[in-house]
Amino acid sequence: MAEALISDEAFIKGCAAVGAGLAVGLAGIGAGAGESGIGAAAVGAIAEDRGFLGLGLLFTVIPETIVIFGLVISFILMFAY
């Protein structure tokens, strides 16, 4: 019989590391795509009326919470196995 080149535990840890990287990377790409339109609209609204500064900042920060969720998922994947 052929010997295994890698142990099952090492394979599971490697897959968890790849999954953690994908969780953060894809969440960052999604947040960047969502934030691009929001940021442009916020800058336009603030240029017309300075009263929209707080609301524009709030709407710009909301997509970034998705990246935080991806980071939490990556920590769970990395430290659960």
What integer pLDDT is reported at residue 1 of this predicted model? Answer: 54
Spatial CA neighbour of 31 closest among 59, 2, 3, 7: 59
The total domain count for the chain is: 1
Q: 44: closest CA among 26, 65, 31, 59?
A: 59
Q: What is the pTM of this model?
A: 0.75
11 lies in some domain: no
Tell me what pLDDT residue 5 has: 83
- Is residue 12 one of the residues assigned to a domain? no
Here the CATH number for the domain that contains residue 25 is 1.20.20
Which pLDDT value is given to residue 26?
93
Q: Which residues of the chain carry a pLDDT beneath 70? A: 1-2, 81
